[in-house]
Amino acid sequence: MYAGAVPFWYCALQRVKRLLHTRLVPLLSVFAAFSFVIMMFNLPLPGGTTGHAVGMGLTTVVLGPWASMLAISVALLIQALFFGDGGVTAYGANCFNMAIIGSLVAYAVYRVIAGRAPLTHSRRVIAAALAGYAAINVAALCAAIEFGLQPVFFKDATGAPLYAPYPLHIAIPAMLIGHLTFAGLAELIISGGVVAYLQRTDPSLLKATAPGARDVDATQEITQSGWQVTRPLWVGVALLMLLSPLGLLAAGSAWGEWAPADFKNPQARLAIARASGNSAPPTQAPQGVEKLSSIWTAPMPDYAPKFLKSEKLGYMLSAMFGTGLILMAFMVIAAIVQVLDGKRQTDELVAANGNGAS
């Protein structure tokens, strides 16, 4: 999980450094301390229970996703190391789920729902509340998937799971029930409540993540890049990437993805028949399939290159390779959109200036 988190940290550090330069150190330190302290707050929840919030919705709304992921990572490290909550070995996963995924999801949800509403609009309160709620739940889902995959990969000689013992179908509901109700509510109350409070006292603090807010002047809108517009898509891709190993757990092969040899194997025939509404498959592989299969040998047969003996590793690598290709495609599209967008906006600006001049 450390390997997953490091590129995000690096990227975040570079972005935040460029933006803040010498302000980086004091701002991040104080904000990390702030996130740490609010994790201690005991929030009263409806129904007489209490809960703690991580505050990722709130820090994201005030600082933006990149600075937020750094601040929360630092707060989590001090919590793990110094106060012994959450082990050192789980730190990478914790950061990945809560600081990184949490901040990105919170930002996407907040931006999408808040839209261009003015800074003091009630829509921003709802957006922040839902951002906090969505962030903690997606983080919990990621954690559940990580837990759920562990018994598949790590077992001792007797078949006893070495790490987390629960398969996905138990881990996901167990994690999500708690988070969809209590933990999610704490996050929802804190994010929404504090944004509402800031709107009354100091709305300028909400400016950083509201570049399109209606009371901001037009020049700032133009600087908004295509990246920000497409960010929800990126988050979606990242999520899919995380979910891709799930395919490993589905029993049997996907419908329609049969190998020619499966048609001759009686067991495989039975499986195909069951999957196809009990209609018996032909005894021979369809000629087309047979012919094609001899011509077309995929560069990654059965999703696993030959030099990779472990099927699981191959599957994971193939998933990453596939998503990498998709990401590249996205990047190309995003670049094209940005160029076109920029051109259109300059055209409009020129037109507007021209009108003003005449």
Partner 1 sequence: MAGGVAIKRKRRKSFVEHTLAGLAATTAHALQAEEITKADGLLQHLDPRVKVVGLLALIITAALAHSLWIILTLFVIALTLALLSQVSIRTLARREWIGVLVFTGCIALPAIFITPGHVIYRLPLLHWPITEQGVRSALYLITRVETAATFSVLLILCTPWTHVLKALRVLHVPVVFVVILGMTYRYIFLLLQTAHDMFESRQSRLIGKLEDREQRRLAAASVGVLLSKSLQLSNEVYLAMQSRGFQGEVYTLDEFMMQPRDWIALFSFLVVAGLGFWWGR
Contact between 201 and partner 1 per CB under 8 A? yes
Rounded Cα distance between 208 and 306, Å, is 50
Tokens of 56: 């990722």
Tokens of 42: 């005991």
- CB closer to partner 1 out of 71 and 109: 71
Contact between 22 and partner 1 per CB under 8 A? yes
Residue type, 143: A
Return the residue of 138, 190, 210, 235 that touches partner 1, per CB under 8 A.
190
Contact between 28 and partner 1 per CB under 8 A? yes
Smallest distance, partner 1 to C-beta of residue 23, A: 5
Q: Contact letters (x/-) for partner 1, 59-78, by CB under 8 A? A: ---x-------x---xx-xx
Burial class (CB in 10 A: 0-12, 13-18, 19+), 118: middle
In Å, how far are 137, 268, 321 from 176, measured between CA atoms?
7, 36, 29
In Å, how far are 69, 87, 183, 239, 318 from 72, measured between CA atoms?
5, 16, 17, 20, 32
Smallest distance, partner 1 to C-beta of residue 87, A: 5
- CB closer to partner 1 out of 62 and 109: 62
Contact 109/137 with Cβ under 8 angstroms? no
Contact between 31 and partner 1 per CB under 8 A? yes
Contact between 27 and partner 1 per CB under 8 A? yes
Contact between 310 and partner 1 per CB under 8 A? no
Smallest distance, partner 1 to C-beta of residue 239, A: 25
Burial class (CB in 10 A: 0-12, 13-18, 19+), 250: exposed
Tokens of 256: 């329609």
Helix (H, G, I), strand (E, B) or coil at 50: strand
Contact between 166 and partner 1 per CB under 8 A? yes
Instruction: State the DSSP string of 7-19.
Output: HHHHHHHHHHHHH
Q: Which stretch binds partner 1 (CB under 8 A): 31-39, 99-107, 213-221, 257-265?
A: 31-39
Return the residue of 1, 113, 152, 164 that touches partner 1, per CB under 8 A.
164
- CB closer to partner 1 out of 306 and 309: 309
Return the residue of 189, 206, 210, 238 that touches partner 1, per CB under 8 A.
189
**Sign of the dihedral defined by the CA atoms of residues 281, 283, 287, 292, in that order:** positive
Contact between 3 and partner 1 per CB under 8 A? no
Contact between 34 and partner 1 per CB under 8 A? yes
Q: How many residues does the chain have?
A: 358
Count the residues of the shown chain that bind partner 1, applying the rule CB under 8 A.
66
User: Interface residues with partner 1 (CB under 8 A)?
Assistant: 13, 21-34, 36-38, 40-44, 46, 48, 50, 55, 58, 62, 70, 74-75, 77-78, 80-85, 87-89, 151, 156, 158-166, 170, 189-190, 192-194, 196-198, 201-202, 205
